[in-house]
Amino acid sequence: MGGFPEDKEGKTIQTGFAHKAVLGVADKVIEAVKKGDIRHFFLIGGCDGIKSERSYYTELAKAIPDDCVILTLACGKYRFNHLDFGTIGELPRLMDVGQCNDAYSAVQIALALAKAFDCDVNDLPLSLILSWYEQKAVCILLSLLYLGIKDIRLGPSLPAFVSPNVLEVLVENFDIKPISTVEEDLKAILG
């Protein structure tokens, strides 16, 4: 058997940016933010799925400006982590924080950045855009809400448990919002 005619030459994907790895280069990250080389951080996290609306996350990653870092969390990254996003100085623009179970690392990175800049996590140039697909995502979302994280974008559809009354509470207390279009969301986030 000759294999698949569309086989392509292998490619490596850089991974392993859990909180210990990122905090190991915290000085470079902080310096890049202070110099204006890094304008914003986008954490694109959540689960993959078969719905065609999930292409939003790939299109978002492609549209994020070159002076922004993309952090990934969970399996949704497999739709775009093979793309070359380049670097900002010595730092890769795409940093994979891990799977759903590694959400702790993303929180530790955010807390360390907040401490370094003497601010609250909600004051960081950080946006969380989460992809809802299964129950594990609920645990992560509830953990983020418990920590007081606000302004989370969630999609492509809201979880079934989000009734109109629950949505009202989430919007009122946590400024949670559904994703819209890549262009509208980037404009709202970056101005």
pLDDT of residue 19: 72
Q: What percent of the chain is predicted at pLDDT more than 90? A: 44
Fold that domain 19-190 belongs to in CATH: Rossmann fold (3.40.50)
Confidence of residue 133 (pLDDT cuts 50, 70, 90): low
pLDDT of residue 181: 93
Confidence of residue 141 (pLDDT cuts 50, 70, 90): confident
**How many angstroms separate the CA atoms of 77 and 96, rounded?**
8
pLDDT of residue 4: 66
Q: What is the mean pLDDT of residues 94-108?
A: 83
Residue 132's nearest CA partner among 74, 173, 72 is 74
> What is the tens place of the pLDDT at every residue in 112-124?
999 999 999 999 9
Specify whether the CB–CB gap between 141 and 154 falls below 8 A.
yes
Specify the residue for token string 């929180």. Answer: 107
> What is the tens place of the pLDDT at every residue in 10-56?
666 666 667 777 778 888 999 999 999 999 999 998 776 666 666 88
Q: Where are the domains of the chain?
A: 19-190
The pTM of the full predicted model, rounded to 2 decimals, is 0.86
pLDDT of residue 69: 95
Mean per-residue pLDDT of the chain: 86
Residue 153, pLDDT above cutoff 80: yes
| Other residues' Cβ atoms within 10 Å of the Cβ of residue 56 | 22
